[in-house]
Amino acid sequence: MGSVKNKIGRYGPSPQAKGRTDQTTSMHKPLQFYSTNLKAENLRFHEALLKGQAPDKGLYMPVNIPQILPEEIAEFREKEYWEIAYHVTRRFLAEEISDDELKTIVRDAYDYEVPLEQVYERKYIMRLDRGPTASFKDFAARMMGRLMQHYLKAGNRRLLILTATSGDTGSAVANAFYGLDNIDIVVLFPRDEVTDRQRKQMTTLGKNVKVLALDAKFDNCQALVKQAFADPLLDYLGLSSANSINIGRLVPQIVYYFYANAKLSSAWEQIVFSVPSGNFGDMMGGVLAMKMGLPVKKFIIATNENNEFPNYLISGKYNKIEPSRNCISSAMNVGHPSNLARLVALYGGIMDEKGLLLRAADMEQMRNELWSVSITDEETRKTIGEAWDRWKLLLEPHGSVGWAGLLRYIREQGDQLAANQLCVSLETAHPAKFPDEIQKITGIEPALPPSLQGIDNKPEYLSELPNNYTDFRSWLISNYK
Ligand SMILES: *Cc1c(COP(=O)(O)O)cnc(C)c1O
């Protein structure tokens, strides 16, 4: 167990610690990534990226958190989104990719705007919904796809990505990987459980994207994918996954926290961020940004009625919710966040893949830095209505959970919170993806963003399959020889 011992407490200075030094040496040595289950060997970034999950079923995390000095953070004020993305992600990719190639990738991936919308005083919404599939998952998927393509091409390899989706992940990944040379992608979705628009975002692509509609639930789709990964008859396909546990999805999600700071803050000040959370990939990006040196006063982790995390933060005891509760913020219907093991690791604990706490985390430090609240569907709807009436702020259900969480925090802190405290709540999807709910509440029909226009009339390419592994395997073998 010596190696286990070495691996804890590695995360040196606390985020608020002053006088930290930049680890310039890390720019010359490739960063290593360890598995949160501590039973797999450390890997370099590109290896962890192409692997996805560690062989011991843990999640990859950087052995050291790269630091960004206050002077450099201040310089971000003059930079565009893709430039900040370059400077932040480069810390994780030292010796892994040339500076020029990384620049090309981020410039190409982040060619859309990231609006910061003032709601009142210094309270803002950051809209992460202007990518090609109108959810924040585009930020991660687009960079991850391009990085994978880069490494596969260099190694003259191909990959077949299998991904099961309940909506947003499938479309973000399919769009991000569409047209890449060394990657094929198969998306499985439950036929009756996605909206028409969500389906069309996947089925209207074609080329290297194949889509399977299954007469099944999301969990069945997920199970078929897992069975395929474990099937020796399919070894020849080079199967990989693109789900939210891949380190390649986490690193790009650090960037927009630095961006918000750069564009809203003219002096060194700590921001309150509110993050509507399901699998906790988004909030992990934020917490990593803080550990890299971004000044943060508090992260508000706003969940829907799946309140396993708020309960854990209060009690220190973790109980997942099975089955997860169905709420209108459907992308956050998660009863056990897949990234929680990473958060626990950052605070010195160990959580295995089943959600068992093998070593407690430092709860006191966690409570210092995070605040969490569960928002009911009733409050989510009410918040959409009130935000529109009061500020002409248009929210969809996920962003509404985040905004409601922020309002609760502000109310609870009362006078302790300075009136001019800078606060940023994340909006993770475009309201036009949820037209029915929003029209019912506010009476207005959200306009389609350019990326979704025309989609209703495009031809669709998809195959239908029964919920049966033998059929799924035959389909894979006949389509990818
Ligand atoms: C996936 C998703 C979330 C939850 O993000 P996590 O990283 O899983 O916490 C929130 N909102 C939308 C719209 C999403 O698609």
Cβ atoms < 10 Å from Cβ of 444: 13
Q: What is the mean pLDDT of residues 152-180?
A: 89
- How many residues in total does the chain contain? 481
Distance 240 CA to ligand 1 centre (A): 21
Lowest-confidence pick of 6-15, 54-63, 265-274: 6-15
Binding site membership of 282 for ligand 1 (Cβ less than 6 Å)? yes
- Return the best residue to mutate from 125, 273, 277, 282 for the ligand 1 pocket (most ligand atoms within 8 A of CB): 282
Q: With contact defined as beta carbons under 8 Å apart, do 305 and 376 qualify? A: yes
Taken in order of first residue, the domains within the chain and their CATH numbers are 137-247+455-479 (3.40.50.1100)
Binding site membership of 332 for ligand 1 (Cβ less than 6 Å)? yes
Q: Which atom of ligand 1 is nearest to the CA of 275?
A: 9
Q: Strand (E) positions, 281-406?
A: 296-303, 350-351, 357-359, 370-374
Determine the Cα–Cα distance for residues 413 and 398; give it in Å rounded to an integer.
23
Two tokens at 291? 């550990």
Only one residue has tokens 């998809």, namely 462
Q: Which atom of ligand 1 is nearest to the CA of 172?
A: 15
Orientation angle between helical segments 99-109 and 81-89, nearest 10 degrees: 140
Two tokens at 91? 């810390």
Binding site membership of 278 for ligand 1 (Cβ less than 6 Å)? yes
Mean pLDDT, the chain, rounded, equals: 91
Only one residue has tokens 């190639």, namely 101
Q: What is the mean pLDDT of residues 179-205?
A: 90
Distance 71 CA to ligand 1 centre (A): 32
Determine the Cα–Cα distance for residues 187 and 183; give it in Å rounded to an integer.
13
Binding site membership of 280 for ligand 1 (Cβ less than 6 Å)? yes
pLDDT of residue 28: 61
Determine the Cα–Cα distance for residues 377 and 379; give it in Å rounded to an integer.
5
Distance 171 CA to ligand 1 centre (A): 13
Rg (CA), the chain: 21
Distance 277 CA to ligand 1 centre (A): 6
Binding site membership of 429 for ligand 1 (Cβ less than 6 Å)? yes
Q: Which atom of ligand 1 is nearest to the CA of 278?
A: 9
pLDDT digits (tens, 9 = 90+) for 4-50: 333 444 454 343 333 334 444 445 689 999 999 999 999 999 999 98
Q: With contact defined as beta carbons under 8 Å apart, do 49 and 31 qualify? A: no
Distance 325 CA to ligand 1 centre (A): 15
Angle at 377 between CA 401 and CA 386, to 5 degrees: 65
- Would you call 296 exposed, middle or buried from its count of C-beta atoms within 10 A (0-12, 13-18, 19+)? buried
- Name the DSSP class of 479: H
Lowest-confidence pick of 111-120, 302-311, 419-428, 440-449: 440-449
pLDDT of residue 169: 84
- Return the best residue to mutate from 125, 133, 136, 401 for the ligand 1 pocket (most ligand atoms within 8 A of CB): 136
Residue type, position 292, single letter? M
Residue 330 CB partners (closer than 8 Å, separation 6+): 166, 167, 397
Binding site membership of 398 for ligand 1 (Cβ less than 6 Å)? yes
3-state secondary structure of 220: helix
- Name the DSSP class of 217: -
- Return the best residue to mutate from 309, 398, 434 for the ligand 1 pocket (most ligand atoms within 8 A of CB): 398
Does the pLDDT value for residue 480 go beyond 80? Answer: yes
b/e map 137-167, b = 16+ CB within 10 Å: bbbbbbbbbbbbbbbbeeeeeebbbbbbbbb
Distance 136 CA to ligand 1 centre (A): 7
Determine the Cα–Cα distance for residues 182 and 36; give it in Å rounded to an integer.
30
Distance 399 CA to ligand 1 centre (A): 10
pLDDT digits (tens, 9 = 90+) for 288-322: 999 999 999 999 999 999 999 999 999 999 999 98
pTM for this predicted structure? 0.91
Residue 422 CB partners (closer than 8 Å, separation 6+): 122, 124, 264, 265, 269, 271, 272
Q: Which atom of ligand 1 is nearest to the CA of 129?
A: 13
Nearest CA to 52 out of 206, 287, 249 is that of: 249
Q: How far is CA 438 from CA 132, 239, 304, 433, 451, in A?
A: 21, 39, 17, 10, 19
Lowest-confidence pick of 28-32, 234-238, 350-354: 28-32
Taking the alpha carbons at both ends of the chain, their separation in whole angstroms is: 45
Distance 334 CA to ligand 1 centre (A): 10
pLDDT of residue 451: 81
